[in-house]
Structure 1
Amino acid sequence: MTEVLQHWPQVMGAYVVYLVAVLSPGPATLAIVSTSLSQGRQRGMTIAAGIFCGSMTWAILASLGLAAILPHYAQALVLMRILGGLYLLYLAWRAFRSATSRTDRRSVENVKASLKRVFLKGYAIHITNPKAIFAWLAIISLGLPAEATPTAVGIVVGGCLLTGFAVFMSYAMLFSTPRASRIYDAARRYIDGTLAALFTLACLKLLTSR
């Protein structure tokens, strides 16, 4: 604990960096907003839980020293980036198909989707995003000295994860309110068209990033 107090400015810096990262619009945020609007609060919170678990996976790996072995798995990261980009493109296609349909085809399809499938969708979105890896590596590097104790690592990572969980669940609750549902029902085709464009941009950004 003494070590954490000594490096408290760096720890707070790591918290701020993570908060900015988690609040910035990206594939995870788009997925939570899209699911919450079209499928309701339960599935919105479920996909948020999947995204959180994906974030927790990278947080644990970063804490265990992922940076030391990362250079040996560069090709795996490229493959993950491609798979993540293709999945985002698939989500863009689904949103576009809904936008061009006169009826809400997704509402019928989503009734059949189990909560497990929705959870795994969220997990897949985050676990195939290489940027999540480097974000956590940056947070660990910024907030902790090289000789950090397990307690210090737990405080930094735990604080960031609690922040992420609160933000993800807040998005799910905010965009699944009755008012949000009414707005979505009234402007479904426009909203889905916008989401399709944003998913496409996220796909292109992921595939072309280095």
Structure 2
Amino acid sequence: MIDVLAISWSGILLAYGVFIMGMFSPGPNILSIIGTSMSVGRNEGRSLALGIASGSLLWGLLAWAGLTTVLVTYASFMAVIKFVGAIYLLWLAFKSFRSAASARQINVKALALPGNGLAYFRRGLLIQMTNPKAALTWTATVSLGLATDAPWWVGGIIVAGTTVISLAGHLTYALAFSTQPVIRTFFAARCWIETGLGVFFCVASYKLATSRL
């Protein structure tokens, strides 16, 4: 087990890196947390973040189960999955570079919901589970650490680690974006952040396309 983990560790770390970088690229989930924390309140943003993180766990489990089934049944099909994942990462790189070159401001949307934190938790879960980007991101992330000879628990390590990252990252957004200094700093540095994301996604795409099956 230790030898297999040592061999798979570079792919696992790359998967973690892609997931972390993806959290810096604002999508519907991140923008809803930012907007809610800024305009409604920290507690509401935190409940929304917990719902989104729970959705991330569900997507991770689905991707893990699906890719493991593919490896067991149709090992040769993994090449197609990795190719699609590499193309998707290139698309994320393109979007990051385009966003960095654009002077357009990011539009955030606050969610004003009736009821307590449970309503925001449910909305966060719904946002994440109906986000098509989440499905593609999880497929690309999990496939980074999997090979045809990888044991089933390698995917479990990826899902467990990225779930912790998702929980910590989304809660950080909820807490940080309830303060004006962080908001101003983030948007001032957005160009550099998006450029760095574009470079990282290009590297990850190359790694995935050239990784062993």
Does the pair score TM above 0.5? yes
Shift, 1:148, TM fit: 2.5
- Give the count of matched residue pairs: 146
Counterparts of 1:165-180 in structure 2 under 5 Å? 165-177=167-179, 179=180
Shift, 1:16, TM fit: 1.0
Shift, 1:180, TM fit: 6.4
Contact 2:145 2:154 in 1 (8 A): no
Q: 1:131 aligns with which of 130, 133, 138?
A: 133
User: Any idea what SS the aligned residue of 1:146 has?
Assistant: coil
User: Any idea what SS the aligned residue of 2:26 has?
Assistant: coil
Q: 1:144 aligns with which of 143, 146, 150?
A: 146
TM-score if structure 2 supplies the norm length?
A: 0.61
Instruction: Report what 2:33 is aligned to.
Output: 32
TM-score if structure 1 supplies the norm length?
A: 0.62
Q: RMSD of aligned C-alpha atoms?
A: 2.7
Counterparts of 1:173-192 in structure 2 under 5 Å? 173-177=175-179, 179=180
Query: C-alpha separation between the residues in 1 aligned to 2:11 and 2:20?
Result: 14
Q: Per-residue CA shift, 1:89-140, capped at 9, x if unaligned?
A: xxx8x95xx9xxxxxxx8xx65x33212111111111111111111111111
Instruction: Report what 2:16 is aligned to.
Output: 15
User: Any idea what SS the aligned residue of 1:158 has?
Assistant: helix
Contact 2:146 2:155 in 1 (8 A): yes
1:62 equivalent to 2:74? Answer: no
Contact 1:58 1:132 in 2 (8 A): yes
Contact 1:36 1:173 in 2 (8 A): yes
Query: C-alpha separation between the residues in 2 aligned to 1:124 and 1:175?
Result: 22
Q: Per-residue CA shift, 1:65-106, capped at 9, x if unaligned?
A: 1685xxxxxxxxxxxxxxxxxxxxxxx8x95xx9xxxxxxx8
Which has the larger share of helix? Answer: 1
Contact 1:23 1:167 in 2 (8 A): no
1:64 maps to a residue whose letter is: A
**Unaligned stretches of 5+ residues in structure 1:** 69-91, 99-105, 185-210
Counterparts of 1:90-129 in structure 2 under 5 Å? 110=113, 112-129=114-131
Instruction: Report what 2:45 is aligned to.
Output: 44
Instruction: Report what 1:76 is aligned to.
Output: none
Shift, 1:147, TM fit: 3.3
Contact 1:36 1:176 in 2 (8 A): yes
**Unaligned stretches of 5+ residues in structure 2:** 71-106, 185-213
Instruction: Report what 1:75 is aligned to.
Output: none
